[in-house]
A and B are shown apart, each in its own frame.
Chain A
Amino acid sequence: MIGGLFIYNHKGEVLISRVYRDDIGRNAVDAFRVNVIHARQQVRSPVTNIARTSFFHVKRSNIWLAAVTKQNVNAAMVFEFLYKMCDVMTAYFGKISEENIKNNFVLIYELLDEILDFGYPQNSETGALKTFITQQGIKSQTKEEQSQITSQVTGQIGWRREGIKYRRNELFLDVLESVNLLMSPQGQVLSAHVSGRVVMKSYLSGMPECKFGMNDKIVIDKQGKGGTTDDAGKSELGGSSGKQSIAIDDCTFHQCVRLSKFDSERSISFIPPDGEYELMRYRTTKDIILPFRVIPLVREVGRTKLEVKVVIKSNFKPSLLAQKIEVRIPTPLNTSGVQVICMKGKAKYKASENAIVWKIKRMAGMKESQISAEIELLPTNDKKKWARPPISMNFEVPFAPSGLKVRYLKVFEPKLNYSDHDVIKWVRYIGRSGIYETRC
């Protein structure tokens, strides 16, 4: 199991050091600093073995988190734990920075004592932790409160406490998708997939039982056509296509979702944590709506000049607007000057980034825009050819490129007197570019 956990700043100074196992010596702290932090570029794996001691590390801005062990631990678990540790810290004091860590180090030690026992991760749900690990310290609790805390921390519903009350029962569903594309210069799709998340913000009283439905092909096919009358009514937003259902390659759920039920009936039922959390993640590869098409044209004119022409075409309903569009056209390292002409938006050559950055604030569907640039090159005797990195693109569109639609989210709270109809529900779809690249 995890033998120790260290947090360093960018210089390699220790901010937090907690050792759980006797086989981890004090020198382990230095071993990591010397061999990993100070070695910088040479370390080419997130797992490093130094003198029979294994170090796992993740970086958050310029803070290093390292877990150390001498045993054959579950490596995936260690990384999951490190990410979770970051989430917990962020939930407590915001951004993970040197200053925040120094300011909260007692709290961090307290958390580390609670969520890692002898190197075994324990309940690390912030909802539960916040009930008894507070920066003020626990002054006095009644006996009931204490047992409520312990039963919640160890209980089956460790992510939600009892007795939550809201005057207005409300929930927000965000379908956030990132669409990824790798396209050949000829416009052939080399790979494309959407990775999506359903993020829920719930402000519901009591212990509500929820059921979530979407246009999952397997469910729809099972019900047959016409079985879609029980929609919650707020799912009319959507993409350009009138697709009935989508094929989900795979999905994973927050631990509140009853997985065995999903496995047997493919229904998503759960008691949600309070506040914001990620209900599910999914991935689709079929019939993706690619919001933009990039058509590159690069011509080498002699050894000292390049001509680049890039056309982008938007490919969705004309009534919808894409935002924050940015096209990044890489330029060779020996670029000496660039001249750009574009019909729409603003384009600039950024020498420090070796790229022409073309920004367009808004663009409606089924439109087309174009940029052309002349790149002057310095003559070099470098034999190696320029690697021609792909042209990448960023954007945001108000629909789900996978075609996913929320069909319903039903809420039942048998003990309290509010029904599904009293809950105010909001659904929003946002499609963003993930890695959206076209080779040129």
Chain B
Amino acid sequence: MEWASQLCENRGLGSKMTDSKYFTTTKKGEIFELKAELNSDKKEKKKEAVKKVIASMTVGKDVSALFPDVVNCMQTDNLELKKLVYLYLMNYAKSQPDMAIMAVNTFVKDCEDPNPLIRALAVRTMGCIRVDKITEYLCEPLRKCLKDEDPYVRKTAAVCVAKLHDINAQLVEDQGFLDTLKDLISDSNPMVVANAVAALSEIAESHPNSNLLDLNPQTINKLLTALNECTEWGQIFILDCLANYTPRDDRESQSICERVTPRLSHANSAVVLSAVKVLMKFMEMLPKDLDYYGTLLKKLAPPLVTLLSAEPELQYVALRNINLIVQKRPEILKHEMKVFFVKYNDPIYVKLEKLDIMIRLASQANIAQVLAELKEYATEVDVDFVRKAVRAIGRCAIKVEQSAERCVSTLLDLIQTKVNYVVQEAIVVIKDIFRKYPNKYESVIATLCENLDSLDEPEARAAMIWIVGEYAERIDNADELLESFLEGFHDESTQVQLQLLTAIVKLFLKKPTETQELVQQVLSLATQDSDNPDLRDRGYIYWRLLSTDPVAAKEVVLAEKPLISEETDLIEPTLLEELICHIGTLASVYHKPPSAFVEGSRGVQHKRLPARAGSGESTESPDVGQSVSGVSDAPPAVIPSQGDLLGDLLNLDLAPPTTTVPPVPSSMQMGAMDLLGGGLDSLMGDEPETLGGDLGGSPAMGVGVGVGVGVGVGLGPAPVGMPAGLGAAPAVGGGLGDLFDLGGGVGMTSGSYSPPRVVWLQAMKAKGLEISGTFARRGGVIQMDVSLTNKAMSVMSDFAVQFNKNSFGMAPAGPLQVLTPLGPNQTVEVSLPLSSTGPVMKMEPLNNLQVAVKNNIDVFYFSCQYPISLLFVEDGKMDRQVFLATWKDIPSDNEAQFQIKDCHLSSDAASNKLQGSNIFTVAKRTVEAQDMLYQSIKLTNGIWVLAELRIQTGNPNYTLSVKCRAPEVSQYVSQCYELILKN
């Protein structure tokens, strides 16, 4: 065809000519020429011209100037020409709304055309033109087409309602199109039903709460009937819609399953996957002892395996989904290991996914085969694949105890190859094997040490350093080895630095005599020369620990490490459930909830699996053949993925969680930290230096006043090779929650100030018991609000609490009310009333509180700090005269001045706010646009504190002068002022 050759010529010109000026002139000429051709009398010439226009449009040239000329060609009985003009219109109508009106008449006329193909074409095209004025004219023709006698027109009109809804949702509702669309679900033609279902599903997605897709047993029955008759695509629409339905009981669930199973034999993989989705979801409701349940399980395996003989792209989608299915119901594919063996010619993305599934399916029964395969893969070419294969060998060792020995020897063989990345990967996994089977394979350490020099990746270096530190007593030259790393300390990545610090401290605790110098060196490197807060804080902790109580240091640093879980990279159960509801879709490919990658309101609703009828359990633990080791009955400890907690709260687009039990905070946690850091500083209105300084100065790190401290500790340096995620994740969630509570609380004046909840005792330091909490003063009573979380595998009971003597004589006024034993992963909230009549001893800092909590396992100690405002009593308002006299009476030496920066409250608002926390304004004076508030406070032990708060209009910095007979208190009072005013 000559237009095509012309197209090629133009293209050639475009690419050859670099002189853009020259190019523009050619284009102008071209447009002029086209204009003439479009207005030609000859039909054929016209058509050729429109084709040329479309060709230019495709390659990205702007041919909008031809709009009127092209629209003029619209009035034709030649269907091909008409289609071309419509195509042009769809592209340019938006940029030329006024001109587009010219087309309306033709559209309306075409919607009445005797030829159903033309009617459908008109209504289909009109819906694609996003110009308000045209949309108005669309309503009437659309209404007619929805009731057209021809099914082809009706099925096109059904989709058109969705288009119109996308342009103007209100209009669609006002015009009653939604009801007409609902009626189409009962249409006699299956394709009309399918399109109506698709359109309704889409519209319903943007109205999460409307009961648009009113699915009831009658409509379900209609859908199931249409399912047998419509096209493959229609079947997908219907199945995807069915998956959103929740059957009333297990019988309905079973009958739907029975009618859906034949779809598993469809040639179209998408039909199969959507059917699998419906079955996986509805199966949840079937009682497990039902015969049909077993039959269904058996029926699911063959189609899933068949998906693997599809084209590679589909295989990839299938494998990503199988990965989810295997996590949810491992029993389905447990005998199908062989089909996941990697073929030499598989594309890399298929290979990597297969490997993942192989590890998940590995069990005692098939481990020999799997290992033989993995060994084979470890010699392939693709670096990523080889790495993953090596890693997989390590995972097999951890998962199947009987194979551990063989895995280790395989890994050693691989280390002998001296291929750099293989060696590094092997060392990383051997570290995990050591963790899992302590005192079993340490004989290989010597071999590992030989390869020290070849390690250039942070993860491998960190792993090697961990090994050296952990087994320092068995490695004669451990100090030399670690020292060699220390030379380039500042060039190492944080991961390695942190690990090196910990390893040297371990070494010191094991061989104190020879390594004093080394430990000094690393501590000063970490605390003085580093600007990484994690490193610095960890350095300080160790330093203080070592200098104050070496025995405690030993207990902390060389503590027994918790078991590492057998299954790694498991998707967190609630996310997994949600993803199961999205089988076949992009969410299941990305392994992320739709909210993570879809903008706007669409897909933000979280889907859930239905609960099993009759029984209370909503999720079942994957209790399959992996129960080889001792902890068989407990569900595998899934490390909560911070990414998702954060993602949900802040709607951040974080990378999928990596939960390979890292010995140091993983990069993602660091990311989260950074994200939070900035926001926190600004929220707190605090300078980072102050915060840092506070931390450095106080020996008990986990208990600062601000949120920042809580989060910092939660995320921060987790001691020594422990899964940082275990204790840390909830702290993040909690910290954030409080952050938002605080945000919401700004501007409220009433109520006493209560500090945000912080983690006082981390689970990893207390054999799985995590304690977090806050203080509050309610109705004149001081209360300690504590939440106790059991992160261990066993039940905890017999809780009791005791306080050490403290500055203000705080003591529990009652027992710790934990009535029922605390099961694994349970949390209990307790409010402990406190009295202030206990024994007194001055603490440093003054508001420090040392607490002991006992349970059936052990006694745990932690210390925390309360805001001193807790002690401000309700009858603290002083008489004016007394105030004046007292003020004068207190020597001016006892007066302390403080600045409160960045506070934007008016003096009245400030006064109100302070009164909520029992700081009473006795008098107010205004001098030269400066408000002076005179305030009095009485502490529980009868000490009076007097204050003068100066607020200058327009100046956000307040000046606070505090006078008290016990001047030590002043500093804490000022801190309270700051906290109260800013929250």
Interface residues of A (CB under 8 A from B): 1, 13-17, 20-23, 26, 29, 44-47, 49, 52, 54, 56-58, 69-77, 79-83, 102-103, 105-106, 109-110, 113, 117-118, 120-125, 132, 137-138, 141, 143, 146-147, 149-151, 153-156, 158, 182, 184, 190-191, 193, 195, 249-255, 258-260, 262-263, 278, 280-281, 283, 383-385, 387-390, 392, 435, 437, 439
Contact = CB atoms under 8 A, between A and B. Distances in A.
Contact of A79 (B79, B195, B314, B585): B314
Interface string B155-168: 11001101100100
A71 B603 contact: yes
A71 B232 contact: no
A110 to B, nearest CB: 6
B8 A102 contact: yes
B344 A120 contact: no
In the A-B complex, the 9 residue pairs with the closest CB atoms: A137-B80, A250-B302, A150-B152, A76-B270, A263-B262, A77-B270, A72-B594, A259-B262, A121-B233
B341 A190 contact: yes
B17 interface: no
Task: Identify the interface centre among A16, A52, A71, A155: most chain B CB within 10 Å of its CB.
Answer: A71
B66 interface: no
A204 B921 CA distance: 100
Task: Identify the interface centre among A74, A195, A392: most chain B CB within 10 Å of its CB.
Answer: A74
Interface string B387-423: 0000000000000000000000000000001110000
B233 A120 contact: yes
B426 to A, nearest CB: 15
Nearest to B198: A120
B586 A263 contact: no
Nearest to A260: B262
Given A47-B589, A49-B590, A383-B419, A389 B150 contact: no
A109 B343 CA distance: 38
B553 interface: no
Contacts of A75: 317, 584-586, 588-589
Given A154-B189, A249-B305, A283-B309, A118 B379 contact: no
Contact of B313 (A46, A182, A281): A46
Task: Identify the interface centre among A23, A106, A149: most chain B CB within 10 Å of its CB.
Answer: A106
Task: Identify the interface centre among B189, B314, B587, B602: most chain A CB within 10 Å of its CB.
Answer: B314
Interface in B31-85: 51, 54-55, 58-60, 78-81, 83-84
Given A71-B602, A79-B314, A80-B314, A150 B117 contact: yes
Contact of B586 (A47, A83, A150): A47
Nearest to B121: A113
Task: Identify the interface centre among A45, A191, A283: most chain B CB within 10 Å of its CB.
Answer: A45
B13 interface: no
B317 A54 contact: no
B311 A83 contact: yes
B598 A70 contact: yes
B132 to A, nearest CB: 13
Given A75-B584, A154-B191, A259 B116 contact: no
A231 to B, nearest CB: 24
A269 to B, nearest CB: 13
Given A79-B313, A110-B80, A137-B78, A118 B162 contact: yes
5 contacts: A20-B128, A150-B150, A184-B372, A252-B272, A253-B266
A44 B348 contact: yes
A251 B59 CA distance: 44
B124 interface: yes
B348 A253 contact: no
Contacts of B190: 156
B115 interface: yes
B304 to A, nearest CB: 9
A161 to B, nearest CB: 14
A99 B634 CA distance: 63
B842 to A, nearest CB: 58
Given A193-B339, A385-B379, 16 more contacts: A16-B58, A26-B60, A52-B653, A73-B585, A79-B317, A105-B54, A110-B83, A118-B128, A118-B163, A147-B150, A150-B151, A156-B190, A251-B265, A252-B306, A260-B259, A435-B343
A434 to B, nearest CB: 9
Given A190-B338, A385-B417, A254 B233 contact: no
B227 to A, nearest CB: 9
B963 to A, nearest CB: 59
Contacts of B166: 21-22
A120 B124 CA distance: 12
Nearest to A72: B594
B341 A191 contact: yes
Contacts of A278: 267
B78 A146 contact: no
A246 B343 CA distance: 26
A102 B11 CA distance: 12
Interface string B594-625: 10011100110000000000000000000000
A72 B598 contact: yes
Nearest to A149: B117
Contacts of A250: 265, 302-303, 305-306
B211 interface: no
A252 B586 contact: no
A141 B114 CA distance: 11
A254 B584 contact: no
Nearest to B47: A137
B266 A252 contact: yes
B262 A117 contact: no
B586 A80 contact: no
B58 A14 contact: yes
B231 interface: yes
A76 B318 contact: yes
Given A44-B348, A52-B597, A278-B267, A74 B236 contact: yes
Contacts of A146: 115-117
A13 to B, nearest CB: 7
B263 interface: yes
A263 B266 CA distance: 11
Nearest to A43: B349
Contacts of A83: 311, 314
Interface string B86-115: 110000000000000000000000000011
Task: Identify the interface centre among B55, B317, B373: most chain A CB within 10 Å of its CB.
Answer: B317
A118 B348 CA distance: 33
B863 interface: no
Contacts of A141: 115
B87 A46 contact: no
Given A74-B240, A150-B151, A283 B306 contact: yes
A21 B165 CA distance: 12
Nearest to B115: A146
Contact of B381 (A29, A69, A143, A387): A387
A46 B150 contact: no
A159 B75 CA distance: 33
Contacts of B4: 102-103, 105
Contacts of B376: 439
Nearest to B337: A191
A190 B156 CA distance: 52
A153 B589 CA distance: 32
B423 to A, nearest CB: 11
B316 A52 contact: no
B58 A15 contact: yes
Nearest to B3: A106
B913 interface: no
A58 B195 contact: no
A85 B249 CA distance: 41
A255 B602 contact: no
B273 interface: yes
A158 B585 contact: no
A77 B233 contact: yes
A290 B137 CA distance: 68
A16 B7 CA distance: 13
Contact of A255 (B124, B162, B232, B274): B232
